[in-house]
Copies of this chain bind each other. A is one copy, B any other.
Amino acid sequence: MPETLTARDDEALAEQVYQLVLEAIVAGKYEQGARLRERELSELYNVSRIPVREAIQRLEQDGFVETFPRRGAVVRQLTLTDVNELFDVRLCLETFAARMAAARVAAGEPGGRLRELLDDARQAIDDGRSDDVVRLSAAFHAEIVRLSGNRLLIESVKPLFGRMRWIFGLAHNRSNELQRDEHMELCNAILGGKADLAYTLAYSHIELGREPVLKGLAQTLEP
């Protein structure tokens, strides 16, 4: 479908290929252990093999594909273990981010786009734009990490967010309303500079998301 031949734009070709393949994977167009052949992709997107190789390398590091020496890359298949691992690591990093973000706000740092994202989400929910709701929810979480001010943390979390998008694409989530309420509380804690509260709220918010996603994925996987 997106047999776009990419010309020289403003971004590196490898980046564009990465985005396109990622989009295809997240959209479920490569299901199960499909092979990603370099020549295939380079012909599909009208680029040479080099950008394709770099894109695949990045896809591997971000956990979307698995490569085997001399056998190339295959699309990973998400397991329940993957989801559990992801939620565990998120619990580590995002709760810390929330605490740090609150502490920094308490120390006078600006609160970023947190409130704004929440307002946008309100609109998106009311308008029924469910894609935007998902996107804004992810952006909210990302913004908290950004507000932590820890660049290494931001780096470390980036691949997790990629995986989250994938997972949430496959396994649907619980009520947008409920989630937004939790986001709202968390936002208030952070902007109020209440570090411990922010930590606790982030923890329960993330943990509450685990079961529904596991159930959703189990359904998508089993039958």
Which residues on A are within 8 Å of B, measured CB to CB?
12, 50, 53-54, 57-58, 61, 63, 69, 81-82, 85-86, 88-89, 91-93, 96, 100, 150-153, 155-156, 159-160
Instruction: Knowing that A50-B53, A53-B54 touch, tell me 14 more A-B residue pairs with CB under 8 angstroms.
Output: A50-B50, A54-B54, A57-B58, A58-B61, A63-B152, A88-B96, A88-B100, A88-B150, A89-B93, A89-B150, A89-B153, A89-B156, A92-B153, A93-B93
Copies in the complex: 2
Could you tell me the distance between the alpha carbons of A69 and B151 in the complex, rounded to whole angstroms? Answer: 20
Complex: A69 Cα to B15 Cα, angstroms: 11
Q: Which residue of B lies closest to A93 (CB)?
A: B92
Q: How far is the CA of A81 from the CA of B151 in the complex (A)?
A: 9
| Chain B, Cβ-Cβ closest to A149 | B85
Determine if B93 and A63 form an interchain contact, defined as CB atoms under 8 angstroms apart.
Answer: no
Q: Could you say which residues of chain B place their CB within 8 Å of the CB of A63?
A: 152, 155
